[in-house]
Amino acid sequence: MVKSCEIKGSSDSSLKNIVFNDIFTLLHSSKIQAICLNGTKATMLFKQYCKNQNLPLTLHSHSHYKTLIPIDSQKFRHKIVIFSLPSTSPANARYNLDSLLNVWSILLKI
């Protein structure tokens, strides 16, 4: 999602001067049906990108994940489901492997 940025080490919280890739062109010209955002920072960045592109999103919370729904889906040629899932990073101590597998298994249903 990020084309370039400044970062200290591998800390997502240190990202600065972010330049996004042209995600909408990819989505518009492909048959991609789902986007999976790995963690809170990825979700925040995707929401910022959509805001920059004048595409507001509504957020629907589920038990352990969220879906982001474009208010104006005409930016895409087809329906795309956007999932915000918990980070698979080892730094995410809130979820153990079994919990992550359980949450991410929602993708098996699409």
Looking at residue 34, which CATH number applies to its domain? Answer: 2.60.40
In DSSP terms, which residues pair with 38 in a beta bridge? 85
Is 76 inside any structural domain?
A: yes
Q: What is the pLDDT of residues 44-100, one digit of tens each?
A: 999 999 998 888 888 899 988 999 988 776 667 778 889 999 999 888 778 889 999
Identify whether 82 is part of a domain: yes
In a domain, 1, yes or no: no
Instruction: Decide if 20 is inside a domain.
Output: no
* 2, part of any domain: no
Q: Do the domain assignments include residue 24?
A: no
Q: What is the pTM of this model?
A: 0.85
Q: Which domain holds residue 50?
A: 30-109
Distance between CA 106 and CA 89 in Å, rounded? 18
Mean pLDDT of 9-26: 87
Give how far Cα 40 sits from Cα of 25, 71, 73, Å: 24, 21, 23
Could you tell me where the beta strands, DSSP code E, fall in the chain?
2-6, 16-20, 34-38, 57-61, 66-70, 81-85
Q: What is the pLDDT of residue 19?
A: 94
Q: Is residue 8 part of a domain?
A: no
Considering its fold, how many domains does the chain have in total? Answer: 1
Residue 7 lies in a domain: no
Report pLDDT for 75.
Answer: 66
> Does residue 103 or residue 70 have the better pLDDT?
103
